[in-house]
Amino acid sequence: MDALHKPEHVDLDVLSNLGPLAALAGTWEGDQGLDVSATPAGPEETRFREQMVFEPMGPVINGAQVLYALRYTTTAWPEGCDDAFHEEVGYWAWEPATGSVTRCFMVPRLVTVMAGGTATPDARAFQLEAVAGSGTYGILSNPFLDKGARTERYELSVSLSDDGALTYEEDTVLRFAGMPGVFHHTDRNTLRRTAGPA
């Protein structure tokens, strides 16, 4: 890294600099999940339980840019099952200088999403989005999925209620080969913190 472009003063207290992401730090669990996915017979609903883990890290320094971040994992299990049907690993990041919120994650099907938006430091709700083909907040898929089930857009809404619940709704817009139009693969859940940040 070029030290000439490194900020002179960087606050090492990550948690106090995470802005709207600070409230996410810790472990969350919820069993109110609803997944609506595509099948040959049409849309299929799956109820699920989920665990999310957010671990503060940073600061992350890109020259003059300073980010504060959370390492992130989530695992989801269909209702009544012990085998997970969905996993994600990645990062959430806050840039105080611009008010930017970014979520970057990968799923085992080999799709990577970097979604972004803006928020105020004390925001209790925010929205992120990514679009395939964007050079910034975009989506990449492996060649098989890009040809047969291309993810074209991703939208996420996150909110934290006054009573401490974390609720999200996401819409993954897919274009399937040989099918007209697009399919909205949606997920939503409400989770509660079961452990504070490590």
pLDDT digits (tens, 9 = 90+) for 32-78: 999 999 988 889 999 999 999 999 998 999 999 999 999 999 999 99
Q: Are 120 and 95 in contact (CB under 8 A)?
A: no
Give residue 42's pLDDT. 87
Give residue 198's pLDDT. 62
Give residue 125's pLDDT. 98
Give residue 47's pLDDT. 98
User: 4 falls in which pLDDT band (50, 70, 90)?
Assistant: very low
Beta strands in 79-182 (DSSP E): 86-95, 100-107, 111-118, 125-131, 139-141, 149-160, 165-176
Q: Can you list the alpha helix ranges (DSSP code H) found in the chain?
A: 143-148
pLDDT digits (tens, 9 = 90+) for 157-186: 999 999 999 999 999 999 999 888 999 999
Average the pLDDT over 6-10 and give the result. Answer: 57
CA distances from 172 to 51, 53, 87, 149, 185 (A): 20, 22, 15, 11, 5
Q: What is the third-level CATH fold of 3-193?
A: Lipocalin (2.40.128)
pLDDT digits (tens, 9 = 90+) for 96-142: 999 999 999 999 999 999 999 999 999 999 999 999 999 999 999 99
CA 183 to chain centre: 20
Residue 10 has pLDDT above 80, yes or no: no
Mean pLDDT estimate for the chain: 93
